[in-house]
Amino acid sequence: MRKINTRNFVRATRGTAREINRRIILNLVREHQPISRADLARRMRIGRGMVTSLVAELLDDGSIYEGSTAEAPRGRKPMMLFVRTHDRLAIAVDVRFSRTYLMLSDFSGKPIALEEFETIPDPAALVAGLARRIQKLLKGRDAKLKVNGIGLVVPGMVDATSGRILNAPQLGWRDVDVRDALEKATGLSVHVENAPIACALAQMWLGDGDTETPRDFVYLTVGDGVGTGIVVNGEVVRGHDNTAGEFGHVPLNPRGPECLCGARGCLEAYASNLATLSRYLGHEFSPTETRRLLQESGLTILDVIARAHAGEQRALDAIDETATRLGEGLAIVINTLNPSRIYVGGEITELWDRVEPVMRHKIRERALTAKAAETPLVPEPASSYPRLRGATAIVAAPVYAAPQVA
Amino acid sequence: MRKINTRNFVRATRGTAREINRRIILNLVREHQPISRADLARRMRIGRGMVTSLVAELLDDGSIYEGSTAEAPRGRKPMMLFVRTHDRLAIAVDVRFSRTYLMLSDFSGKPIALEEFETIPDPAALVAGLARRIQKLLKGRDAKLKVNGIGLVVPGMVDATSGRILNAPQLGWRDVDVRDALEKATGLSVHVENAPIACALAQMWLGDGDTETPRDFVYLTVGDGVGTGIVVNGEVVRGHDNTAGEFGHVPLNPRGPECLCGARGCLEAYASNLATLSRYLGHEFSPTETRRLLQESGLTILDVIARAHAGEQRALDAIDETATRLGEGLAIVINTLNPSRIYVGGEITELWDRVEPVMRHKIRERALTAKAAETPLVPEPASSYPRLRGATAIVAAPVYAAPQVA
DNA sequence: CGGATTTGTTCAAATTACGAACAATATCGC
DNA sequence: GCGATATTGTTCGTAATTTGAACAAATCCG
């Protein structure tokens, strides 16, 4: 029961029904490939003639392709259909505090080329550098491989419709427009997105290969900060001013450590990588001291994880406390949004066998129903580059998304 | 960019485009009445001929009606259209701990008859009693007034699709099916909904007369418990097991008062009417003691509010603390969902001039952005019967909602 | 009263969904 | 090897629907 937006609706025209059914077929092929025309007709309860005609259009515009025929117990062998992902490309950019990652990948998220370089703090200079690298990246490529656009992910608040970066504290950017500049420099369409939302979009549109992604879930990212991407009813939640999902600043303890946001005892001040590292070094997190402390020690979160793996008690204690706090935060996520699943991304997933039971224990303590207490937690290893996959997803999604109607 | 649900999609048929446009017209009439066919054609960028034909169908099925002609500076005077609400009725039922409210209203939410009686704890007996009262209510009515259905609101978790009440602790109901029984007894279709969600639906579909309701907001109910109804992208958030919106059990203080849910320091244990009343009597909230305490004293929340109005310091202190805690809770709502507005319902709104500034102060302290800190808080007086309006809304909404497609 | 202007209706043409017939393969029983 | 049967995919006529233009109705103005 969605309400129609009478300020900004899309009315149906002669071609709308066809467009809707074509998009449904494209998605059925995507999720059930290989699949035959006759199978599509059965699933959609539609005549095979209609399928032939719609499939012809999808073949024409290159969205799908015909593979070989498949075995059948009797009758004519069906001609199998597949979505064309290997020659539709996206350029994914992940801008982070110290380094920027640049990936060329196909529409399935499979990497073709990957490079990284030091982040240039000035937006204009970064755009110029990016444009140069992108041009070089595409130079030697086969012209047949169509690049559909650029997806750019930043740690911070983004207005996805205007493409403006509203506030990215880690980069020191405020109200910066990189989209238009990068579009002008490369001639490609550019989509900008906030990192946790991008990770959620990667899960939604590219999946993780094995299990089917639900239509309502939360993606928790644990990095220098703690953030979430929220998906409800098959759609991302951005919020009225693009600041939804800041579960990192849920207060856990009014007398807890000071947080970058100015408050005390935020989840992030307990569970971000900086906070974990700081705790390992014997200090509470502090927005003014911690960075200096870490630079002095030269340690990174991966060192703490390695030592925990090796069995060092101090490292294990630091990690356990982080997991406990994450569990408290996730209990709030579960009680307020009741997602069917929670994905967890970040270096901390390397210790999943240790971390998950601790989080689960807290969640069981706090969840309001027995079902909710067992909300599946799914780790996503950092090795799968979730942010870059998310950048790819924002380029690919418009091709597969439901057409806007009504 | 909504993802198509390939397990449960609706394909477009020959009539789909027509259905979509008819529904758009209905909603345009709803929100802009009085409006002429020519105006509709302009707003939809569609030929007037199409509008004539679609409007004829809507006139036929009684969704809208023609009023009188309107003045125009020159040319033929337009014939104005209106939605027909006054002779389409809904029966609204609000089952609460001690009393049950029964309202007959039209589709605009305007009450026609209202009665109340003591809640019968046994579900089957309550249904039988309700059916009897409903029959009596409808007996004397004009047969032309079409009753579209019954909306029933309960304090607790509800599976809106199956109509089962999963858990309503205040009523002591667990996994109870009142829908089928009430449908059988009355011959009317019955919709069951959770109270805070129903309040949100009332705002979304019936509005409050003056201002336009946004497509993303939160409705906070402060009663015996504290709950929220969440609306995102013009659609209600129910959660995977129908337990979304439990912001009442966000922990504010790990060493706070014990809550009914078993945890400590929940928002609800600070800010529900029971907690406020308990605090006024000089005690912390306690799930075991408070009810007895209140029965002994014979006081209700309205007494405390009246004394606060009269300027009694002890009452004011109790209310201020409640407002402070609600502010902390709302800051979490704002940082995690970033709604464009928050409606607040409950007896406490009687003291809005006192309560709002206290909540706002806390929100300003905690909100992550300046814009979010100014998220409008809109009080809804208990006198407008928000839950009963919500029950009406769940009956009326299917008539106006966007058709499900793709 | 005729021209100008706007609203609402009618109608023919262009498109499109739909369904039935048909062509193309393939297996199986004999 | 050959007809019977089953299944896939295509073609094509029919019915339904959008679309745009012409037309009728209503009103004001000079």
Whether the per-residue pLDDT at B143 is higher than 70: the answer is no
Residues in A 262-281 with any Cβ partner in B closer than 8 A: 263
What separation in angstroms does the CA of B124 have from each of B120, B129, B175, B188, B368?
9, 9, 13, 17, 49
> Is the CB of B12 less than 8 angstroms away from the CB of A20?
yes
Q: What is the spatial distance, in angstroms and rounded to an integer, between the CA atom of A69 and the C1' atom of C26?
A: 12
CA distance A1 to chain B (A): 5
Q: Tell me the HSE value of B160 on the side-chain side, using a 13 A CA sphere.
A: 20
A58 CB-to-strand D distance under 7 Å: no
Q: What is the spatial distance, in angstroms and rounded to an integer, between the CA atom of A78 and the C1' atom of C23?
A: 15
pTM, 2 dp: 0.93
d(CA A335, CA A239) in angstroms, rounded, equals 19
| Nearest by Cα to B31 from B195, B205, B189, B198 | B205
Handedness of CA A258, A238, B249, A319 (dihedral sign): negative
B321-379 pLDDT, tens digit per residue, is 999 999 999 999 999 999 999 999 999 999 999 999 999 999 999 999 999 999 999 99
Q: Length of chain A, please?
A: 406
Least confident of A129-143, A324-338, B99-113: A129-143
Q: Which residue is nearest to nucleotide D29 (CA to C1')?
A: B74
Between A144 and B241, the higher pLDDT residue: B241
Q: What is the spatial distance, in angstroms and rounded to an integer, between the CA atom of A130 and the C1' atom of C16?
A: 46
Whether the per-residue pLDDT at B287 is higher than 80: the answer is no
Mean pLDDT of B223-234: 94
Residues of chain A neighbouring B338 (CB-CB closer than 8 A): 238-244, 246
Chain A 78-117 contacts with nucleic strand D (CB below 7 A)? 78-79
A75 CB-to-strand C distance under 7 Å: yes
Contact B215, B234 (CB under 8 A): yes
B40-88 pLDDT, tens digit per residue, is 999 999 999 999 999 999 999 889 999 887 777 788 889 999 999 888 9
Whether the per-residue pLDDT at A269 is higher than 80: the answer is yes
B179-218 pLDDT, tens digit per residue, is 999 999 999 999 999 999 999 999 999 987 667 788 999 9
A133 CB-to-strand D distance under 7 Å: no
Tokens read off for A115: 């490079």
Whether the per-residue pLDDT at A145 is higher than 80: the answer is no
The pair phi, psi for residue A229, each rounded to 5°, is -110, 130
Per-residue confidence (pLDDT) for residue B286, from 0 to 100: 79
Among B235, B397, B402, beta carbon nearest to A406: B402
A365-399 pLDDT, tens digit per residue, is 999 999 999 999 999 988 889 999 999 999 999 99
> Is the CB of A241 less than 8 angstroms away from the CB of B338?
yes
Whether the per-residue pLDDT at A48 is higher than 80: the answer is yes
Residues of chain A neighbouring B366 (CB-CB closer than 8 A): 249, 251, 263
> Is the CB of B2 less than 8 angstroms away from the CB of A402?
yes
Whether the per-residue pLDDT at A225 is higher than 80: the answer is yes
Whether the per-residue pLDDT at A210 is higher than 70: the answer is no
> Is the CB of B401 less than 8 angstroms away from the CB of A4?
yes
B21-33 pLDDT, tens digit per residue, is 999 999 999 999 8
Handedness of CA A189, A194, A197, A203 (dihedral sign): positive
With a pLDDT cut of 70, the percent of chain A lying above it is: 99
Mean pLDDT of A53-60: 94
Between B80 and A141, the higher pLDDT residue: B80
A67 CB-to-strand C distance under 7 Å: no
DSSP states along B203-250: HHHH--SSSPPPSSEEEEEESSSEEEEEEETTEE---TTS-TT-GGG-
> Is the CB of A240 less than 8 angstroms away from the CB of B401?
no
Contact B325, B276 (CB under 8 A): no
Whether the per-residue pLDDT at B173 is higher than 80: the answer is yes
A14 CB-to-strand D distance under 7 Å: yes
| Nearest residue of A to residue B203, measured between CA atoms | A3
Contact B192, B166 (CB under 8 A): no
Per-residue confidence (pLDDT) for residue A139, from 0 to 100: 84
Is A70 an interface residue toward B (CB < 8 Å)? no
Mean pLDDT of B263-284: 90
Per-residue confidence (pLDDT) for residue B210, from 0 to 100: 65
Among A23, A238, A371, beta carbon nearest to B241: A371
A73 CB-to-strand C distance under 7 Å: yes
Per-residue confidence (pLDDT) for residue B263, from 0 to 100: 86
Residues contacting residue A181 through CB under 8 Å, at least 6 positions apart: A123, A124, A127
Chain C: positions less than 7 Å from a protein CB are 4-11, 15-21, 23-28
The pair phi, psi for residue B248, each rounded to 5°, is -65, -20
d(CA A96, CA A118) in angstroms, rounded, equals 9
pLDDT-based confidence at residue A143 (cuts at 50, 70, 90): low
Mean pLDDT of chain A: 91
Q: What angle do CA A320, A325, A327 make, to 5 degrees?
A: 95
Mean pLDDT of B274-279: 92
Per-residue confidence (pLDDT) for residue A146, from 0 to 100: 85
pLDDT-based confidence at residue A237 (cuts at 50, 70, 90): very high
Residues of chain B neighbouring A240 (CB-CB closer than 8 A): 214, 216, 338-340, 375
Per-residue confidence (pLDDT) for residue B353, from 0 to 100: 95
Tokens read off for B59: 């006139």
d(CA A24, CA A63) in angstroms, rounded, equals 13
Using CB atoms within 10 Å of the CB of residue A34, give its burial: 0 to 12 exposed, 13 to 18 middle, 19+ buried.
middle
B51 CB-to-strand C distance under 7 Å: yes
Residues in B 152-181 with any Cβ partner in A closer than 8 A: 157, 167
Whether the per-residue pLDDT at A316 is higher than 90: the answer is yes
Per-residue confidence (pLDDT) for residue A224, from 0 to 100: 87
> Is the CB of B1 less than 8 angstroms away from the CB of A398?
yes
Among B3, B32, B44, beta carbon nearest to A204: B3
Cβ of B288: how many Cβ atoms within 10 Å?
Answer: 8
Mean pLDDT of A342-362: 95
Whether the per-residue pLDDT at A141 is higher than 80: the answer is no
Contact B318, B273 (CB under 8 A): no
Least confident of A117-126, A263-272, B44-53, B69-78: B69-78
Bridge partners of residue B219, in order along the sequence: B229, B343
Q: What is the spatial distance, in angstroms and rounded to an integer, between the CA atom of B385 and the C1' atom of C9?
A: 45
Cβ of B398: how many Cβ atoms within 10 Å?
Answer: 12
> Is the CB of A237 less than 8 angstroms away from the CB of B240?
no
Mean pLDDT of chain B: 91
Mean pLDDT of B163-188: 91
